[in-house]
Amino acid sequence: MSDASPDAYRESGVDTTLAVTSLAGLIERFRKTWTIPAGQPGNVRLPFGLFANVIEIGHNHGIAMTADGVGSKVLIAQRMGRYDTVGIDCVAMNVNDLLCVGATPLAMVDTLAVQELDPDCLEGIAEGLTEGARQAGISIPGGELAQMRDVVKHEAGKEGKGFDLTGSAIGIVALDRIIVGEAVQPGDVVIGIASNGVHSNGLTLARNVLAQDVSLYDKPYAELDGQSLGEALLKPTHIYTREVLPFLSGEGDLDVRALIHLTGDGFLNLRRVRSRVTFVLDTLPPPPPVFSILQHLGDVAAAEMFAVFNMGIGFCLVVPAHQADRTIQMVTRFGKRACRIGYATDRGHDDWEVIIKTGDVRLRGKGSRFETFA
């Protein structure tokens, strides 16, 4: 693993540290809108900073809500001239977040902003959204199409092909079955479920790596089973409803104490668990080749790779240690690889939230950054 400076993401245009401080002011203003008292429909049940929030609707039920998009993956779709996968990403980024509070996803609406009304592009995006909804078991009851020629950007040589795609999804959850990680205890284990690859995060950094030689988008790699890097980067985010919903319905009588979608911030997403523990990841499987290729091409530090990308693990469940084997069995019956990747321990005086000890990688992180240690 490289020891290069862990600032490539910021230099690519994404400053995660500044994002945290900038968001604080917005959150303070938004919190002033929480005027409905507890027990009344519309009451906000969770704090900011989780994967989704829950709005009380009565009779011990809440509506879980979230919003997300596919980020700069739209620029890779433009460059590759393929639009039928990013819709799956849009569904995945939203429903996977809903799962993290224990909610069953129900529906999603999308907003599609375009430079021009290109029939092939629109058809491909609609195809992906429809396939994503099918995989997630949700409906798409509406959406918005906006022509924004002066706002939406395009990749060089793709004039008129610019677009942006976002969505907002809802799910339902019993108020006494909301999961935010408060029950996580030292000794609990982390079960990681494999990703499909890069998913829909960190692509600004990936694009910056490839900007030094754009022919790399089309170069086939034996490590990628003959796929080009562009094709590998377009592989859609996995939708984890099949693997996770059985746990939420009580199947197997397993005590799932936290659910984590590894999106932006990579393994630092574990810090969203609302229990004062440190997660030690000591049995991570080797990252899939696409990550090694990007790291080598861009000379990206290991600290940044694990703080930006999912590195082959797209979703995590935290369960008591004695339930680890049964949890893995339930996940793998759907054909997705799962394994124990670490455990929770008491947080030490240094207050580290995530520690990674795998292969030759030694990282410890809190806030928005990892740092190396001996």
More confident residue, 46 or 16: 46
Contact residues for 175 (Cβ-Cβ < 8 A; gap 6+): 45, 54, 56, 60, 61, 62
- Using only C-alpha atoms, the chain has a radius of gyration, in whole angstroms, of 20
CA dihedral 217, 19, 370, 100 (to 10 degrees): -80
Counted residue by residue, the chain has a size of: 374
Tell me how far CA of residue 271 lies from CA of 26, 92, 117, 258, 280, in angstroms. 21, 21, 42, 11, 12
Give the pairing of strands 277-281 and 338-346: antiparallel
Largest CA distance in the chain: 59
Can you point out the beta strands (E) in the chain?
53-58, 61-69, 104-114, 143-147, 163-174, 189-194, 258-261, 277-281, 313-319, 338-346, 354-358, 361-366, 369-372
Token look-up 């609990």 returns 188
pLDDT value of residue 17: 65
Is residue 351's pLDDT more than 70?
A: yes
Q: Which of 186, 188, 187 lies closest to 346, judged by CA?
A: 186
**What would the pLDDT profile of 245-297 be if each residue is shown by its tens digit?**
999 999 999 999 999 999 989 999 999 999 999 999 999 999 999 999 999 99
Would the pTM count as exceeding 0.85? yes
pLDDT value of residue 153: 82
Q: Which of 181, 344, 192, 365 lies closest to 277, judged by CA?
A: 344
Cα 182 to the chain's mean position, in Å? 21
Which CATH architecture fits 36-177?
2-Layer Sandwich (3.30)
| pLDDT, mean of residues 143-149 | 96
Is residue 12's pLDDT more than 60?
A: no
The string of DSSP letters for 9-39 reads: HHHHT--HHHHHHHHHHHHHHHHTT--SPTT
Q: Which of 203, 211, 265 lies closest to 236, judged by CA?
A: 203
Where do the domains of the chain lie?
36-177, 189-372
Q: How many CB atoms lie within 10 A of CB 140?
A: 18
Q: Can you read off the two tokens belonging to residue 176?
A: 């006494």
Tell me how far CA of residue 268 lies from CA of 62, 260, 264, in angstroms. 28, 10, 9
How many CA atoms are closer than 13 Å to the CA of 246, on its beta-carbon side? 15
Helix, strand, coil share of the chain (percent; to 5): 35, 25, 40
Q: Each residue of 73-98: b (16+ CB within 10 Å) or e?
A: bbbbbbbbebbbbbbbbbbbbbbbbb
pLDDT value of residue 2: 42
Residue 7: band (very low, low, confident or very high) from pLDDT cuts 50, 70, 90: low
pLDDT value of residue 1: 42
| pLDDT, mean of residues 175-199 | 98
Domain 189-372 class, CATH top level: alpha beta
Is residue 16's pLDDT more than 80?
A: no
Is residue 156's pLDDT more than 90?
A: no
Is residue 161's pLDDT more than 50?
A: yes
* Secondary structure (3-state) at 209: helix
pLDDT value of residue 10: 63
pLDDT over 90 for what percent of the chain? 88
